[in-house]
Structure 1
């Protein structure tokens, strides 16, 4: 799988994506079992994140970031590097690459874009997010921006694919909401919510390759 993953993944991303079927598997629910229903009257902002694969010590990894504590809906949460589309971005792939460079110091020139996953609506922050999948042929050197990143987590891909790292628990979200949520435990970090739902689709894609 080590040598064949990148060309196989690139080819697979050009075909149909599982989308909402995969997202639903990691959807948090209220403690009473009901779905969380949130609506925004404003047009969502566009954004993008990057799933950046690289090899280290004969294992595939990808970086996650932990957000600093701040007054906002994603305070302290685990996330993929990324952010809002800006006027200078030609497209959302540019957004993902620019934001990754700004947040964790990986230059766009060091990333081969393999494809993209399904757009995902992050209702809590009213963003329509495109997950981009990329590959770095060399182990990246991460330089986190302390204003946006509290920590860079080098998540092993085999943990993401291991069912033993797929768990559930009660989580307190912003605003004091208590949710029962599936999550991925990656390097002892709890990855839940929108990030887990996007990664769930990535897991489905990878499982198609085996």
Structure 2
């Protein structure tokens, strides 16, 4: 969020407008998805939106490498591959180990983070984009259809 943004929804509209080079008025918010919290101190508030059919996309090359279309029915029938990424806590040497039980031998929790992949026409969607799409499809279930 920029300091001038009044809400996460306003941020999503501004970012979409800036990245795709379209007027904000051509973006209609349908609703919010689940907030995505990453292990890298990021909190992402994704939104489902429609863009007016007559909108002309002029992607910002500093932020967008490529724009392509994947029909919703393709995403619904394609299965997302899931590969877990393992996360491990590694405190730095100057960590105050003397203040915790078992010191340097403390049994830190380990975790995993799902990494999703889906391919379409030779392109692979992965990372945050795939996690957001996966969440969208889980929430929408069978209630989505191509426009």
Q: TM-score, normalised by structure 2?
A: 0.68
1:106 Cα deviation after fit: 2.0
Match of residue 199, structure 1, among 107, 127, 133 = 133
More strand as a share of residues = 1
In structure 1, runs of 5+ residues without a counterpart are 1-84, 172-178
Match of residue 62, structure 2, among 147, 166, 171 = 147
Q: TM-score, normalised by structure 1?
A: 0.49
**Structure 2: distance between partners of 1:96 and 1:184:** 23
1:201 Cα deviation after fit: 1.4
User: Which one has more relative contact order, counting CA pairs under 8 Å at least 6 apart?
Assistant: 1
* 1:97–1:107 Cα contact (<8 Å) kept: no
**Structure 1: distance between partners of 2:38 and 2:83:** 21
Closer, same or farther: CA 167–142 of 1 in aligned 2, 3 Å:
same
* 1:167–1:185 Cα contact (<8 Å) kept: no
- Taking only aligned residues, the RMSD between alpha carbons, in angstroms, comes to 2.6
Which is higher, the Rg of structure 1 or of structure 2?
2
* 1:96–1:132 Cα contact (<8 Å) kept: yes
